[in-house]
Amino acid sequence: MPVKLIMFDLDGTLIDSSIDITNAINYAIEPYGVKPVTVEETINLVGEGITRLMEKILDRSQTKEIDKGILVDRFLDYYSAHLIDKTTVYSGVRETLERLKGYKKAVISNKREALSTRILNDLGLLKYLDLVVGSDTTPERKPSPVPLIYAMEKLGASPNETVIVGDSNFDVEAGKAAGIKTIAVTYGYRPLDLLKGADYLIDRMDELVDILRRRIQ
């Protein structure tokens, strides 16, 4: 059955937001004497939502007395005001989305829906998409299949007609649990050894077009 719906992860797949997220983390923790994080450290920490991100920061610093909720609020205050200061669209993404006009397309992110939508709009990508699903759109987030199933239901596609494209094991695990084909990008935030369960690997986003048209059965 031909593919009807393509679901994309956001951070590490369509965009590189690592610098802006790093700056927001460091703003959040600065008053509390927690060691600042580097961009490389941020890349290893992100992927499970903001609350989980702050938990990892506290675990990493072995600092338990700081209110996690305050850190989340400080992070959101800063990040909301600096969403795309340094965030970039990966090479080939815009052109590929343009070439995929015949498909339904959704973003499934563990970033909150409002933030994801704003970023996509500000970067000129929202116009290519039919749906944006964030960490707070459904009761569960990736690696749960729940947000993927929600998107399929909203856009009228069956698992046999759907693929997910992402850069992490969370995307692959969610796709497998939802019964859909999985495509992992090798240029994102996660090392290759975490992506080996994917049905396909691509080194550039523009390789997706050929996979969709020739290889997925």
Q: What is the per-residue pLDDT across 24-58, written as a single tens digit (0 to 9) for each?
A: 999 999 998 888 999 999 999 888 888 888 888 88
Amino acid at 106: A
Q: Do domains 5-16+88-215 and 18-81 have the same CATH topology?
A: no
Record: fold of 18-81: DNA polymerase; domain 1 (1.10.150)
pLDDT at res. 102: 92
Chain centre to alpha carbon of residue 21: 13
Phi, psi of 184 (to 5 degrees): -110, 135
Among the listed residues 127, 88, 104, the one whose alpha carbon sits nearest the alpha carbon of residue 10: 88
Would you call 164 helix, strand, or coil by DSSP?
A: strand
* Count of residues making up the chain: 217
- Residues forming the active site: 9
Residues β-bridged to residue 165: 8, 183
Tell me the domain boundaries of the chain: 5-16+88-215, 18-81
- What digits encode the pLDDT tens for the residues 125-178? 999 999 999 999 999 999 999 999 999 999 999 999 999 999 999 999 999 999
Confidence label for 64 from pLDDT (cuts 50, 70 and 90): low
**Dist. CA 57–CA 33, nearest whole Å:** 12
- CA 12/CA 174 separation, integer angstroms: 16
Q: Are strands 15-16 and 88-89 parallel, antiparallel or unpaired?
A: antiparallel
User: The domain at 5-16+88-215 falls in which architecture?
Assistant: 3-Layer(aba) Sandwich (3.40)
**Cα Rg of the chain (Å, integer):** 17
Q: How far apart are CA 9 and CA 168, in angstroms?
A: 9
pLDDT tens profile 204-215: 999 999 999 876
Output the pTM of the full model. Answer: 0.94
Residue 138 Ramachandran class (φ > 0 left, ψ -120 to 50 alpha, else beta): beta
